[in-house]
Amino acid sequence: MAERARVITYNVASIDGRLTVAPGVNLLAGDERWAAMTVGVGDPYQWPREIHDPGLFLEGSGSFLCPELPPLHGVDPGPPGEGEHFLPHDVVTAPGRRWFAVVDGQGAVDLQFTEWPDPNWVGWHTLVLTSLAAPSEHLAVLRGRRIPYLVVGTAHVALRRCLEVLHELLGVRTIVSTGGGRLGGALLREGLVDEIDVELMPWAIGGRGTPSLFDTQPLAPDQWPTHLRLLDQEALPDGRVRLRYSVADGVPA
């Protein structure tokens, strides 16, 4: 079996595991309730960056698809072939290169930047992980913007293969996924999560359908919940708690 990058999920969540305040509330667009709840959190990327030293941060397309941002679809001259990645040599080989990657299997996210204008993100470059479902025109726009992409999978990104390709082509060893619940859920169900880290806030949100940690299909009768082992627990100011769990092998005896 090919080697793959190791995956840690990291999220800031309410005590009941909610990742935003209600269905359809995208935090990138801003929400005053979430802003008040997370006032002590600061930069949510700082802790995982220091602890895990990842080569890549992973986000899901759900964080970028606000209703006010229309998807970037136009005339489609046909799909690219699997494996027709766009990896400009100078971008990939820059010393100390790290990646801020978005899983965007449909080619719907209108990314407008290659590097964030922030001193904390020097050397981090955007990368799109997509599939054959992405319109060719969208990929042409990415090439025009010098945003590298990998095409892995048919209708969605084939996540396991993608982690192998990231390891093989870009040398990525450690990934911190800060994506939403559907990306986390897909990774979990495919057995691709190695560690689960969460910063819990002293708030209960509730609400059926509110995006939560690991939003995915229910377990089948023969499937087991993912068994975890506590690695670390840290009490933080204002009643917040940070937990680190590794994924244990198999089911408990």
Ligand X SMILES: NC(=O)c1ccc[n+]([C@@H]2O[C@H](COP(=O)([O-])OP(=O)(O)OC[C@H]3O[C@@H](n4cnc5c(N)ncnc54)[C@H](OP(=O)(O)O)[C@@H]3O)[C@@H](O)[C@H]2O)c1
* Residues that bind ligand X in the complex, under the rule CB under 6 A: 11-13, 19-20, 25-28, 60-63, 103-106, 156-157, 159, 178-183, 186, 211, 215
Q: How far is the CB of 129 from ligand X (least distance, A)?
A: 8
23 vs 74, beta carbon nearer ligand X: 23
| C-alpha to C-alpha distance for 8 and 45, rounded to whole angstroms | 13
41 vs 228, beta carbon nearer ligand X: 41
| C-alpha to C-alpha distance for 43 and 182, rounded to whole angstroms | 22
Q: 3-class SS at 125? A: strand
| C-alpha to C-alpha distance for 29 and 77, rounded to whole angstroms | 32
Q: How far is the CB of 130 from ligand X (least distance, A)?
A: 8
148 vs 181, beta carbon nearer ligand X: 181
Q: How far is the CB of 238 from ligand X (least distance, A)?
A: 17
Q: How far is the CB of 89 from ligand X (least distance, A)?
A: 27
CB contact at 8 A, 62 and 182: yes
CB contact at 8 A, 149 and 130: yes
90 vs 226, beta carbon nearer ligand X: 226
| C-alpha to C-alpha distance for 174 and 95, rounded to whole angstroms | 17
| C-alpha to C-alpha distance for 91 and 113, rounded to whole angstroms | 14
| C-alpha to C-alpha distance for 152 and 82, rounded to whole angstroms | 6
Q: In a 10 Å sphere around its CB, with 0-12 CB exposed, 13-18 middle and 19+ buried, how is residue 234 labelled?
A: exposed
55 vs 184, beta carbon nearer ligand X: 184
91 vs 215, beta carbon nearer ligand X: 215
Q: How far is the CB of 150 from ligand X (least distance, A)?
A: 13
Q: How far is the CB of 159 from ligand X (least distance, A)?
A: 5
Which helix H or strand E contains 200, and what residues bound it? strand 195-201
134 vs 170, beta carbon nearer ligand X: 134
Buried b (16+ CB within 10 A) or exposed e, 71-91: eeeeeeeebbeeeebbeeeeb
List the structure tokens of 110.
């209108």
Q: How far is the CB of 252 from ligand X (least distance, A)?
A: 27
